[in-house]
Amino acid sequence: MPRDAMPLLNVGSINIDHVYRVEQFVQPGETRAVASYQRFLGGKGANQSLALARAGADVRHLGAIDHNSDWVLDYLQSDGVDTRFVEKTDTPTGHAIIQVDDSGENCILIAAGANATIERDRVALALDHAQPSDWVLLQNETSAVADTAELAASRGLRVAYNPAPFDADTVSAMLPHLALLVVNGGEFEALTNAMQGDIPATTDLLITHGSVGAELRYDGEQIFVPAHKVNAIDTTGAGDTFIGYFLASQMAGMDRVTSLERAAAASALSVSRAGAAESIPHAAEVAKQLGN
């Protein structure tokens, strides 16, 4: 049976973000009034799918929501994300409680909800539509992460993995299946300490360093791009924006330096806005930021 080409399948979380603006993060035993409250679409998976789509990539999202969250599908579809593999379940849609302080930093509590209902068989059916060398993107906010990596790699697909929430042992076990690992500086340090050795040479390594910049290590080479200097309002979703734009640029055939620069510009625009999904820029805005 002929199979349609699928450049990227994102097996990722879909959350409803409840965002509270606060002067300072609440401490144990403390009650604080919030400056404002907003509800957004979020989840690392959904954010990364939106970033990919807004950057121009062809992306299909595999995830799960409850029967009362059709607005989530409408939002994803309005930006061109293919949601044919998003399943409706009786389990509540995942959600996050996010505090954002006056400096733009955030702290987050996540309830997995429907994100934890994804099973190996569903992933296998979705992968039947893929061709060798297509991309599969993973995070740690859903079930079936290890199964997906194993299945995808066995079919010759390229697996990109952003292991958040981070667990060094889980990442170590995933490494043989990966083409690209994306971590922040703290996660990279924890991983190298846990492994007591180097990342396999077959895995490209993208390390983000927040307001400093990002680096890509591959084939014994290293590229660094500095972050753009902006007034940070909300850092939620900035890393997801970086990942989506980097992968979309690579899928479009851009070189590594251009891909990193495009991702850096996109994430800079993201942190200058409130929210996660809402803050992700479109390709035309990123081109303007780069002076193109």
- The confidence score (pLDDT) of residue 234 equals 83
Under 8 Å between Cβ of 120 and 144: yes
Determine the pLDDT at residue 197: 67
Three-state DSSP class for 33? coil
Predicted pLDDT of residue 170: 92
Measured CA to CA, the distance from residue 76 to residue 54 in angstroms comes to 11
* pLDDT for position 102: 87
Q: Sheet containing 106-111: give its strands across.
A: 36-42, 15-21, 94-100, 106-111
Model pLDDT for residues 25-78, shown as the tens digit of each residue: 999 999 999 999 988 898 999 999 999 999 999 999 999 999 999 999 999 999
Query: What domains lie within the chain, and their CATH numbers?
Result: 8-13+44-93+113-289 (3.40.1190.20)
Among the options 167, 204, 240, 255, which is catalytic?
Answer: 240
pLDDT of residue 6: 57
Residues of the chain with pLDDT under 70: 1-6, 197
58 catalytic per annotation? no
What is the per-residue pLDDT for 233?
A: 87
